[in-house]
Amino acid sequence: MRELRLKGQGLTALPRAVFDHADTLELLDVSGNALSELPPDLHRFKRLRILFASNNRFTELPRVLGECPALEMVGFKANAIAHVPAEALPQPLRWLILTDNAIATLPDSLGQRPRLQKLMLAGNRLATLPDSLRQAPALELLRIAANQFQRLPDWLPALPRLAWLAWGGNPLTAQPEARALAAASARAIPAEALALGERLGEGASGVIRAATWQHAGAHQAVAVKQFKGRVTSDGWPRSEMAAALAAGAHESLVPVLGPVQAGAGPRAQEGGVASGADHDADDGAHALVLARLPPGTRALAGPPSFDSCTRDVYPPGLRLQASEALALARQVAGAMARLHARGLVHGDLYAHNLLRCGPRAWLSDLGAAAFLPPAQPALHPALRALDVRAFGVLLDEWQARTAPAAPPPLAALRARCSAPADQIDIGFAEIEVMLS
């Protein structure tokens, strides 16, 4: 046995029978139980690579994790963890998920894990990061949204491989978020004017449904994104709403028509799928009305897998013509130039957030988007450059899938976008002009 999932079994202790597979087990998922500790001999699982223990009752990250010789992915989301001992961090650590806990400090040894690539810390009580993280050579994705940061560490954009950073929902962005939400209240759409239909998709922050909007004597086909009522891996729903509403209109951004007025939430269409507990939405308290995209619109790729960690998973056999890759890059650059001009950083520029229908593409999902911190203007260019670096990753992925070869403009751009963010000398406005 290589994988064992014991989710939602009401466990208060790990069954000893699990140790019958200590020589072979690589993935263990005990999420959704009532566990508060792990066995002291967990290190007997010599091949255990992935351990999920989210939605349990841990108050401390178990120290025994640090003794597991192969453990590289650790997920303890939505517990009550307030203490992370240095001994709990396994040496091969690559991906650490501590979202939605009560952590105020992290051990300095966190930065001494040379393979650390993905660090998920949204929804805690952090106001600082360990200084040793500035030496993290492999860190590419960092989520520190919905914490207590008054300022971002000045050294963050200098991390050599950092490309995806989320910091919304902290005190440092409270004012611009509040202004964006207040400004949008005038175009709020009454919940009773919306009739929900089938589910179109679901992400970390919420569910998107087809809907019909009755207004001005007509019925308009739209989509409604209903946010989950808790902190997600990217941060607070209200932070995503603020960013989406502040972004404004652009041909390569999914159009946002307005927020839904807080209340009972949109009603389900007769014969449709009802809103409610099946998607854990906050009863319409956080919802956006979006334009309905054409039938057949699909994400260009799937999200990262356990093995790929920070790289999207593309459909097998996907090939792009040189003209297609160039058109995609131009549309993404235009959308990103718009966000940056509005004082926003996307923070999650991935192919799985790029929706495509024929030659048209739309950048979606502003869950990790954040306003540039007003009190740190000197940091703004480097923070924007993180998105440029993520764009370079996209170009690299597309180059490997373009036949017969990527067009020269993209190959040249890829090199300019691959430096550490504090050394990138090009922005999306210039990139859009170059590609046009």
Which residues belong to the annotated binding site for ATP?
225
Query: Any idea of the CA torsion for 374, 378, 381, 383, to the nearest 10 degrees?
Result: -60
Cα 68 from Cα 273, distance rounded (Å): 45
With a CB cutoff of 8 Å and minimum separation 6, the contacts of 284 are 191, 226, 260, 262, 263, 264, 265, 266, 275
For residue 201, which of 292, 306, 331 has the smallest C-alpha distance?
Answer: 292
Cα 277 from Cα 226, distance rounded (Å): 12
Cα 157 from Cα 155, distance rounded (Å): 6
Residue 101 DSSP code: S
User: Would you call 180 helix, strand, or coil by DSSP?
Assistant: helix
Residue located via tokens 């997920």: 75
For residue 266, which of 203, 190, 181, 187 has the smallest C-alpha distance?
Answer: 190
Which amino acid, 70? A
Cα 172 from Cα 375, distance rounded (Å): 7
CA angle 138, 48, 30 (to 5 degrees): 105
Residue located via tokens 């520029």: 349
Q: List binding-site positions.
A: 225
Residue located via tokens 């210039």: 430
Q: Are strands 218-227 and 206-215 parallel, antiparallel or unpaired?
A: antiparallel
Query: Any idea of the CA torsion for 24, 75, 36, 280, to the nearest 10 degrees?
Result: -120
Q: Are strands 164-166 and 141-143 parallel, antiparallel or unpaired?
A: parallel
Cα 31 from Cα 191, distance rounded (Å): 35
For residue 335, which of 314, 303, 304, 366 has the smallest C-alpha distance?
Answer: 366
Task: Give the CA count within 13 Å in the CB-facing half-sphere of 411.
Answer: 8
Structure tokens at 308: 């790929």
